[in-house]
Structure 1
């Protein structure tokens, strides 16, 4: 399923101008607070009628201002998951889930039944409990299940993890991954978290001051989104676990990487986001250092980010890595395009892909 958006809308002094096409999978709207992310999902969901534009889901036009077409929200077959779960406190988990089926009218949308949704989200043991007895992560899983049982054509998730602490976020992220990979429904996901986007997104839409500034695959676009730090995304897979030292060994195009033990099986794909500030460069392979990950590469380009710093783009056997160095370090190492170097990775954020 695809999503096509081309809208122009004013609210007071704020103007939203957004145009993009999203492929199947999870499309992340990424940007700072006030960039227009929530306004955009509200237009897609039918909560805001835009001044001008079109919204098309899988070939079905929901908004076309030139034709005077505006499909009401309740007829769009779109599931909405908010920052808070918004469960009905007087209903059990089972009855909250089944409430979503009340909205199903006719065919279309993702195929879902209670049993498959319960299994997908791992909430079978919660069915007879009341919402006030659930953790934040459990409530969000139930809210997602309720949205799925309405058989949506598209699932809108507006910062669904923003109200959760780190432990609860870690609990629910694997279920959103399963949702992306197994549920068969496209997801438009609002976030301002680089780590969430690196882990979950298929496509990234960067927004700034009401405008879409870039759209594309997460590997290409996310480093642009994290402009303050810069960085790169590496695809890898787990090849073994080092139980003695609680590490996982990963294979990537750039080379072998060792990271803290990941709770995933051998062969599982992972996605790494490596910030430029966490990469050091050496002209010789360093020895007797604490860093576990040293990757051979070649300088591709040097881009000054200020008078004092520059981003060094590396080609590591076809994979891209970025190091942010001081101008003095660039000069002292005599770095230039084509020069072979070794990248010392101080810190890595590895996520399931």
Structure 2
């Protein structure tokens, strides 16, 4: 993967170096003008330090540009209050003495132009905050508080949104409740988003691109699926290793309650979505352990999804298994992985370059939007 991402005229470019006590940071990456770029890595790798540096809350040497604005270089350092950053922390940090309605507009009232009534109404609707406006933060659930914090950050008219593990304090049920709101809002944003996480499941649902950070340095940066299927980064060795691929809804089959999507020119059927989504972009999650391979087109099988693929590479996964790296025939930018036993690979004489058929036992909609939408 490339160490830097391409950035357009309104994109983000970050290059920071310095020390915080014993911790050394030396990092450079870029992100496009829209979409979610995940900063991913283990605790202590420097993800939050990067966000703080971008926000101007920690002083590192380097250069930061957002669009045509220089926020920091060798000659200048723009202070935090002039960086037009929306920041969502692990804890919502709402003002306890203010209602939800007043919390939402707190930053907007201090931004150039003040509160935009139309934008305010749109964000309230997207985040489902209408029923909460008159309530105090103390009476909100964790997920509700984070929705308010996100709304407040967006309404402050930021040029960049920073999100520092905003779901880490929530239990699984609260995460499941809030993620669709995050997805809906991020699909509407026209600014870059940096999203810090050490949970790859969150990244799969929310991110378009990923910057993998270890010990204060960038290990890789680029498209999400390229990282998930890169043998050098280790994601493929996870028991729940998966690929996340863009697709488009082409039909809804009422008699089967299944949605048909086009994935690189081949049909895929999933449970979910509905007739109103025909034409919409979606992305699919394919878990490696749910992929089996065949030399011939399987017949009379209960597995609905069979894709024609080409083998890119075969690598050891464990004492008993191989990781088989695959790409769709005719759409080789769409890649995923199968986990097969060494015995099966030997029986089928699998080799790089072979054309085979991949049966997908389970395909799920990873998110309500497509990568890059």
TM-score (norm 1): 0.89
Further displaced range: 147-156 or 281-290 = 281-290
Against the structure 1 CA distance between its residues 82 and 244, is the aligned structure 2 distance closer, same or farther, given a 3 Å change threshold? farther
Rounded Cα–Cα distance in structure 1 between residues aligned with 2:174 and 2:279: 26
2:272 alignment partner in structure 1: 261
- The partner residue of 1:176 within 182, 206, 211 is 182
1:159 correspondence with 2:165: yes
- The partner residue of 2:50 within 40, 43, 60 is 40
**Cα deviation 1:250-297 (Å, max 9, x = unaligned):** 221162222232367222211122232221112223344443322222
What is the CA-CA distance between 1:40 and the residue it aligns to? 0.7
Alignment partner of 2:352: what SS? Answer: coil
Contact 1:198 1:272 survives alignment (8 Å): no
What is the CA-CA distance between 1:48 and the residue it aligns to? 0.9
2:351 alignment partner in structure 1: 336
What is the CA-CA distance between 1:78 and the residue it aligns to? 0.6
Contact 1:180 1:186 survives alignment (8 Å): no
1:22 alignment partner in structure 2: 31
Contact 2:323 2:339 survives alignment (8 Å): yes
Against the structure 1 CA distance between its residues 321 and 222, is the aligned structure 2 distance closer, same or farther, given a 3 Å change threshold? closer
Rounded Cα–Cα distance in structure 1 between residues aligned with 2:277 and 2:174: 22
What is the CA-CA distance between 1:238 and the residue it aligns to? 2.4
Alignment partner of 1:160: what SS? Answer: coil
- The partner residue of 2:99 within 89, 92, 102 is 92
Corresponding pairs, count:
348
- The partner residue of 1:250 within 248, 261, 268 is 261
Rounded Cα–Cα distance in structure 2 between residues aligned with 1:30 and 1:349: 23
Cα RMSD (Å) of the superposition? 2.5
2:131 alignment partner in structure 1: 125
Against the structure 1 CA distance between its residues 112 and 161, is the aligned structure 2 distance closer, same or farther, given a 3 Å change threshold? farther
- The partner residue of 1:73 within 67, 76, 80 is 80
**Cα deviation 1:181-213 (Å, max 9, x = unaligned):** 323222111122323222322221111222111
Alignment partner of 2:156: what SS? Answer: coil
What is the CA-CA distance between 1:242 and the residue it aligns to? 4.4
TM-score (norm 2): 0.84
2:64 alignment partner in structure 1: 55
2:246 alignment partner in structure 1: 235
Residue segments in structure 1 that go unaligned for 5+ positions in a row: none
Rounded Cα–Cα distance in structure 1 between residues aligned with 2:253 and 2:144: 32
Alignment partner of 1:251: what SS? Answer: strand
